[in-house]
Structure 1
Amino acid sequence: MSRVCELSGKGPMVGNNISHANNKTKRRFLPNLNDVTLISDVLGQSFKLRVSSAALRTVDHRGGLDAFLAKAKDDELSAKALKIKKEIEKAQAAA
């Protein structure tokens, strides 16, 4: 399973462990990912996504999944999230 946030595109970063003796060894900084169920108000449906804690706070701040996806850039979203965004836009256009 990929260690990438489905909403923000945040993934692992690389850096160095630096010892007291100033020895440097490579390490990875992994995003804080959580499996969450988010509900779309427009579709009246819930979706299971793997989202970073930072993205989850942003979803709450913007007022839910629908508002977050409306503002999100398509290149940052996963294929699953992009499909949800298209469905929401389609449902809003029909209403």
Structure 2
Amino acid sequence: MARRCELTGTGVLTGNNVSHAQNKSRRRFLPNLCDVTLASEKLGRGFKLRVAAKALRSVDHVGGLDVYLLKARDEKLSDKALKIKRDLKKAMAA
């Protein structure tokens, strides 16, 4: 399972651990991923997604999953999130 947020595309970053003596060793900065079920009001169901905690706050801030997905750029979304976005657009058109 990839360590990547399905909504923002946030992934693993790399850097250095630096000791007091300035010794450097490589390390990884992992995103704070949470397995959550987000509800879509328009589609009337929930979707299980692996999302970063920061993305959860963003979804809450803009007013829910539907609004967030419609505003999000397609390049950042996972295949699963893109499918939800397409279904949302179909539901809104109908």
TM interval, short-chain normalised:
over 0.9
Question: Matches of 1:56 and 1:8 in 2, distance apart?
Answer: 10
SS at match of 1:16: strand
- Could you list the per-position Cα deviations for residues 27-69 of structure 1 after superposition, in whole angstroms to 9, with x for gaps in the alignment? 0000000000000000001000000000000000000000000
Does residue 60 (structure 1) correspond to residue 60 (structure 2)? The answer is yes
Q: Which residue of 1 aligns with 2:72?
A: 72
Cα deviation for residue 3 of structure 1 reads 0.2
Give the counterpart letter for 1:32 in structure 2.
Answer: N
Give the counterpart letter for 2:31 in structure 1.
Answer: P
Does residue 8 (structure 1) correspond to residue 8 (structure 2)? The answer is yes
Normalised by the length of structure 2, the TM-score is 0.99
Give the counterpart letter for 1:66 in structure 2.
Answer: D
- Could you list the per-position Cα deviations for residues 1-40 of structure 1 after superposition, in whole angstroms to 9, with x for gaps in the alignment? 1000000000000000001110001100000000000000
- Stretches (4+) displaced over 2 A: none
Q: Percent identity?
A: 64
Question: What is the aligned residue count?
Answer: 94
Instruction: Tell me the C-alpha RMSD between the 2 structures.
Output: 0.4
Listed as ranges, the gaps of 5+ residues in structure 2 are none
SS at match of 1:6: coil
Q: Which residue of 1 aligns with 2:17?
A: 17
